[in-house]
Structure 1
Amino acid sequence: MIISHKNILVSGKHQKSIVTDVFYTNEIVQKPVVIFCHGYKGFKDWGAWDLVANAFAKAGFFFVKFNFSYNGGTVEQPIDFSDLDAFGHNNYIKELDDVESVLDWITTTHTEYTDFIDTTKITLIGHSRGGGIVLIKAAEDARVQKLITWASVSDYKNRFPKGADFEKWENSGVYYVKNGRTKQEMPHYFQFYTSFIENKERLTISRAAKKIKIPHLIIHGSEDPTVSIEEAQKLHAWNRNSHMLIVKEADHVFGTKHPWSQQYLPNALQKIITESVSFAIF
């Protein structure tokens, strides 16, 4: 039987809780840990992520997923974006700190799960922007033993506005991106850019990728309209010991959407789960 605990509050480093879920079987045996990080305009309950969590739990893993503390959700409403001001104050450093807080929690303050987890066997999975976050964290935290990136970006700097759009952002202090699904105008305060510049070396994904010594599986859809397949190829080139899987005809979210009402996984997502489970087994 799969046990799930939803909306656990993990203390973060930036005055906001990290809303976290865990999925595992009730068999009392220490299981490898998989920690999943969502991407830009994402959240832990997006689409089929609960089905993904169940699949990993059935495969024998202790699966953890969470909302980045400044992703725009709240403790009371972890789905979607009820706190756009928090979204605007998010940045890559806060997300890296959130991953560290979750790692700290699962390795030191998880007493009720002690019988179910093996903290010497931790895999990070990141989707899209979250792929860059887990890659950087894996390069700097020895607790991470394996790394999997799904449709990951390869560079953060080139995603900032350019030219006149950048000047407008700098002068006004905020620029907005429309969420096509919720129709919200989602703010990005200029601190997002200044935080990146202040931490540019640490946040350069190529630098981190070249440092990776642990096993790294790179998965990307051949028809991804959001993050080019060339970004996966760059990640692979920077670490020739990595493994790359291109899923034919798969898009950025591997056939899913939000909301996801079906009780089955689309073929592309099932394929990447199968490959990821196989890779993450110790």
Structure 2
Amino acid sequence: MNHPITIKSGDLQLSGVLQYPHCDPETKYAAKFPLVIICHGFIGNRMGTDRLFVEAAERLTRSGYLVLRFDYGGCGESTGDYGSGGLDELIAQTRTVIDYASSLDLVDHERLTLIGHSLGGAVAVLTAARDARVKSLVLWAPVAHPFLDIRNIIGAKAIQEIDTIGKTDHMHYELTKRFTDSLAQYQPLVELSGYSGDVLIVHGTADMVIPVDYCFLYQKMFWTRKEGGCDKEVILQGDHTFSSKASREQLFDISLRWVDSLGKRRNDWSLWTI
């Protein structure tokens, strides 16, 4: 069952959908469920390219997960202007969504996972480094160098226009200097040291938007932490949005198997007594 929601974040109204796990109606309100919050990428929305997040949520809910998909301010059906703010606002919006989710009685707070795709992956990392409520991260083709990666997407000409007149039009989004300046201020590869939870990184070898090498770099940096593990999976011929049926099925299978394994590990530890 899908439940449309609106979450207030500052002056913005973030549009989202809460998707309940497939289970008996009596169980739905009696049990606590693991929660997955999906963070979309640059000028994206809660549906994802070719319904990536819709399909992911369906797989997760069939396996007993509660899923929350939402649009960042100025994207999808949320209010605001996406390019007028910065990464700090995207982090704040993500934390506001976590506030909402944490207030729900049916959420298992010890199994709260962020799935972040592309720039949403970088936002997920930066959020987790600031918010201990995030217990695990799943990063799909994550941005590692926000300014450089977005510059490569919008082009050097657009960056020059921003530097000259303070803004540019990209795909009908008005991107401001505040937005691009904030991209340069945040370094997820450095800040990830502030997060101690477990991480899964999945990237495709045919990604022409964000280099597949980033998954190796991210894993290396996550491994330098004192706490928390990091696994990675590389999908052969997977593009940036895992658009083929085969790569998407692999993406979902890998991600679901990994989050399931965390839940099993937690349940096994709960059987131990001291």
1:239 shift after superposition = 1.3
Q: Which structure has the highest helix share of the two?
A: 2
Question: Among residues 8, 12, 32, which one is paired with 1:11 in the alignment?
Answer: 8
Gaps of 5+ in 1: 76-82, 179-184, 257-265
d(CA) in 2 for partners of 1:54 and 1:163? 38
Residue in 1 that maps onto 2:110 = 120
SS in 1 for 2:42: coil
Q: Which residue of structure 1 aligns with residue 270 of structure 2?
A: none
Provide the residue aligned with 2:247 in structure 1. 268
The equivalent of 1:175 in structure 2 is 168
Among the aligned pairs, what percent are the same residue?
A: 20
Task: Write the deviation string for residues 198-235 of structure 1: whole angstroms up to 9, x where unpaired.
Answer: xx2xx211112233321100000011011011111211
Question: Which residue number corresponds to residue 102 of structure 1?
Answer: 97
1:250 aligned to 2:238? yes
Q: CA deviation at 1:12?
A: 0.6
Q: Secondary structure of 1:42's match?
A: coil
Q: Is the 8 A contact 1:153 1:232 kept in 2?
A: no
Aligned to 1:52: 56
Q: Is the 8 A contact 1:91 1:192 kept in 2?
A: yes
User: Does structure 2 conserve the Cα–Cα contact (< 8 Å) formed by 1:154 and 1:206?
Assistant: yes
Report the AA paired with residue 57 of structure 1: T
C-alpha spacing 1:225/1:196, structure 2 compared with 1 (3 Å): closer
Q: Equivalent residue for 1:139?
A: 129
Question: Is the contact between residue 206 and residue 238 of structure 1 (CA under 8 Å) also seen in structure 2?
Answer: yes
CA shift for structure 1 position 31:
0.9
Contact 2:203 2:212 in 1 (8 A): yes
Higher relative contact order (CA 8 A, sep 6+): 1
TM-score by length of 2: 0.83
> Helix, strand or coil: the match of 2:129?
helix
Taking the aligned partners of 2:220 and 2:146, their CA distance within structure 1 comes to 17
Change (3 A) 1:159 1:249: closer
In the TM superposition, residue 120 of structure 1 has moved relative to its aligned partner by 2.2
2:7–2:14 Cα contact (<8 Å) kept: yes
Distance 1:167 1:272, change over 3 A: closer
Residue 34 of structure 1 corresponds to 36
- The counterpart of 2:213, out of the listed 230, 238, 241, is 230
CA contact (8 A) 2:235 2:247 kept: yes
Per the alignment, do residues 227 and 163 of structure 1 end up closer, same or farther by CA in structure 2, a change over 3 Å counting? Answer: closer
State the aligned residue count. 245
